[in-house]
Amino acid sequence: MGRITEDMVRRRAEHNNSEIFSLEELSLHQQDIERLEHLGRWCRELRILYLQNNLIPRIENVGRLKKLEYLNLALNNIEVIENLEGCESLQKLDLTVNFVSLLSSVGSLRSNTHLKELFLLGNPCAQYQGYRPYVISTLPQLQSLDGEPIKRAERLRAGQDLETLKRRVLEQEAEQLQKREREKREGRKDNTPTINNGSDNASPACETEQLQKEKEFWETPCDFSPESRLEAHRHLEEKKRHCTTDREKKPKKSRTLITEDGRVLNVNEPKLDFTLTEDEENSSIQLDLHVYRHMDSSLMEVDVQPTYIRVMVKGKVFQLVLSAEVKPDASSAQRSQATGHLLITMPRAHGEVTPKKLPERKPLMCHSNQHSEEKGREWLEVDPSKSSRLDLTNIATATPTDNQLPRKPLERPTSKHFEDDPDVPPLI
């Protein structure tokens, strides 16, 4: 039986630092709760309460929630609207897809003067003739019914023939109550299949029989009632318990990471992207593992071996074979605060540091006179410590000698046949 416990409420109050006495909003949907209790004592300040999709048969123990404004009880087993008079601030009530057949029970909501919205879709009473006018005339404070706003003309028409509406609704209620009594008497308990909780040595014939019973259970027509809904829930619980027991009995298969002959396998169980690069300058191998950004680092374990690396991410194995042998003791792991990636640097064990490539120089060549044809070109090694540039610091000022002085042009004798014509310009 699903019950509301203090631990359950505290876990749903994480947004309020797990404090329940000052809690204003609480969500307990899909918890298989079968009784509404304790909340009136623990959470007096509640304004919003979600209890949809449970197995609650009655509305009870909420009369102390004076500040409750919104109550959601959709998809439960409620048959009567009751015990809400104490919820003085109630503005919205959702009872969608329940089993409310006593439509006259909406009269208990008259004292909830602040009630503006009511949802009764999916209940047997929503199929009654005169359902909407009856609810509108019974609850004058309502502004919306089943998501449709109530207009003034509709409210006036509903109040004109109220006595006829009441008589018609009571007749339909009586028919529905007789039908419910038959459903309770008949039930479906005898048709519930027995689930085999036997050993692993069950024969194929037994398994076939169980599958046939399972098929009959779900395919047999039945009335939609609180009993059938509870029966289906019990059946699913028993089946889930049986599957859990079988999983516990069967030993979990261990993942093969290293074969019997010592070969290491590549494994990526968490299905993470990664990048493996080789840093030639620092003679190391780097693994960039794209771990989830918001994952806590305590959920990861790094194990570096000489020939492979293994990272455990939330219990799942990531293993990768390395291209060269590395030094595990000198390896390091860092986590990026921006992306959450895990960077693992692993120095090589026998790596050689390669120098940077220098720009190519034009080689000097010499030719041997004796063996020029045989040897061809020979490359000369030049000592970089010796400079081939001219040293201008040792040059001193010297007095020019006679050989270094500029020569004067030679004067030749004038020819005897030379005639000096004054009209001819001089030669430059």
Q: Decide if pLDDT at 70 tops 90.
A: yes
Sketch out the chain's domains with CATH numbers.
6-182 (3.80.10.10), 187-249 (no CATH), 267-347 (2.60.40.790)
Tokens linked to 160: 């004109």
Distance CA 211, CA 246 (A): 16
Which pLDDT belongs to residue 149? Answer: 95
Q: Decide if pLDDT at 344 tops 80.
A: yes
Least confident of 94-98, 128-132, 161-165, 199-203: 199-203
Which pLDDT belongs to residue 193? Answer: 44
Average pLDDT, rounded, for the chain: 80
Q: Decide if pLDDT at 21 tops 70.
A: yes
Least confident of 2-16, 103-117, 165-179, 253-267: 253-267
The mean per-residue pLDDT over the stretch 86-92 comes to 94
CA angle 110, 116, 118 (to 5 degrees): 80
Do β-strands 284-289 and 342-347 pair in parallel, antiparallel, or remain unpaired?
antiparallel
Which pLDDT belongs to residue 422? Answer: 77
> Looking at per-residue confidence, does 233 or 355 come out higher?
233
Backbone torsions φ then ψ of 162, nearest 5 degrees: -65, -40
Distance CA 54, CA 75 (A): 7
> Looking at per-residue confidence, does 25 or 380 come out higher?
25
The mean per-residue pLDDT over the stretch 141-163 comes to 90
- Give per-residue pLDDT as tens, 162-204: 888 889 999 999 998 888 888 777 765 544 444 444 444 455 6
Amino acid present at 414: T
Which pLDDT belongs to residue 197? Answer: 47
Distance CA 242, CA 197 (A): 6
> Looking at per-residue confidence, does 215 or 359 come out higher?
215
Distance CA 385, CA 381 (A): 12
Distance CA 326, CA 332 (A): 12
Distance CA 287, CA 278 (A): 9
